[in-house]
Amino acid sequence: MIKKVAILTSGGDAPGMNSAIRAIVKSAHWKGLETFLVYGGYKGLTEGNIVKSSNIEIDRYINQGGTFIYSSRFPEFIDPEVREKAKKQLIDKGIEALIVIGGDGSYHGAQLLHTIGIKTICLPGTIDNDISSSDYTIGFFTALETIVSSVDKIRDTARSHHRCIIVEVMGRYAGDLAAHAGIATGAELIITSENKKTVDEMIEVVDYQMNKLKKDSVIIITTEHIYDDINSIAKEIESKTKVETRGSVLGHIQRGGTPTSMERYLSTIMGNFAIELLCEDKSGFAIGFVKNELVSEPILKALEKPKQKYFDTVEKFSKINQEN
């Protein structure tokens, strides 16, 4: 059985990464393993920024957002020579295994380390929920809470001024955050990359809702990367409908913050499961939470899974939310 395991966080930070690290460290110690923290993702790994975790007060991180071992974007890791350097850093310290918390890019890096002899396990850490081998990823629930509470506030001001507000949320190319937030806030129009709307279609909805049905506000929620500039779309809607319209890009507030209780639960059971898999000598596996159960499957298989589809659901709820 392995004796030493390292942990790194990579790609976009996500609330719950810290509670996952804590769970991994404590579960590993419980099993008699030594743990090491890699500071700064694959960049830190390649540079040998690896510290034994025994002196760190790990419990204090259970409820902190971000990742206290830092993350990085390090495209150089695509180079096999760079990965060999990273491998050497682990081998020199007698570390046989690495647990990676990150998104699908980070999964690729872990898979490649697995093929050159480092035992790897991946945990889905991304607010975007775009890792289809898990129903939910670490970070998604907290980002969703932030979006929902922000949209609730935006609705207050939209109502007070009879406005339409277009809210752009994160998610990269996945519509999970927009779909869940749109349904949870009763948005009159939910837009994801699967169900893009033209500006004319938006105008039609705003005109009908505000000028015909005399509603006091309209909220449109859209995933990022669909429109170049929601503020110019807002201007166009306003000029055609005479309804005051604004754009609101929620931005980086969606990434940070105290992880929700579901986030802490999910990241803790996943972190513990990662250690259990390593103790069973598993490598090259990705962990997921599917239908209320922890699952694991080869990283490559996890990466091939088709993304969640929301077309019918978001179309239905947009229509229901447009009803008077």
Compute the distance between CA of residue 286 and CA of residue 133 in angstroms, rounded to an integer: 8
Tokens found for residue 170: 């994160």
261 to 19, 37, 69, 73, 268: CA distances (angstroms): 11, 24, 21, 28, 10
Strand partners, 210: none
Whose tokens are 């500071």? That residue is 39
Compute the distance between CA of residue 230 and CA of residue 25 in angstroms, rounded to an integer: 44
**Closest to 175 in 3D by CA, of 157, 187, 164, 165:** 187
215 to 171, 188, 247: CA distances (angstroms): 29, 11, 19
Are 139 and 127 in contact by the 8 Å Cβ rule? The answer is yes
- Least separation in angstroms between CB 278 and ligand ADP: 20
Residues that bind ligand ADP (CB under 6 A): 10-12, 42, 73-75, 77-78, 102-106, 108-109, 112, 126
281 belongs to the catalytic site: no
Q: Which is nearer to ligand ADP, 112 or 177 (CB)?
A: 112
As a dihedral over the C-alpha atoms of residue 40, residue 46, residue 51, residue 52, rounded to 10 degrees, the angle is 120
Compute the distance between CA of residue 134 and CA of residue 71 in angstroms, rounded to an integer: 22
**Which position among 13, 128, 130, 135 bears the catalytic label?**
128
Instruction: Determine the 3-state secondary structure of 61 from DSSP.
Output: helix
Whose tokens are 């277009």? That residue is 166
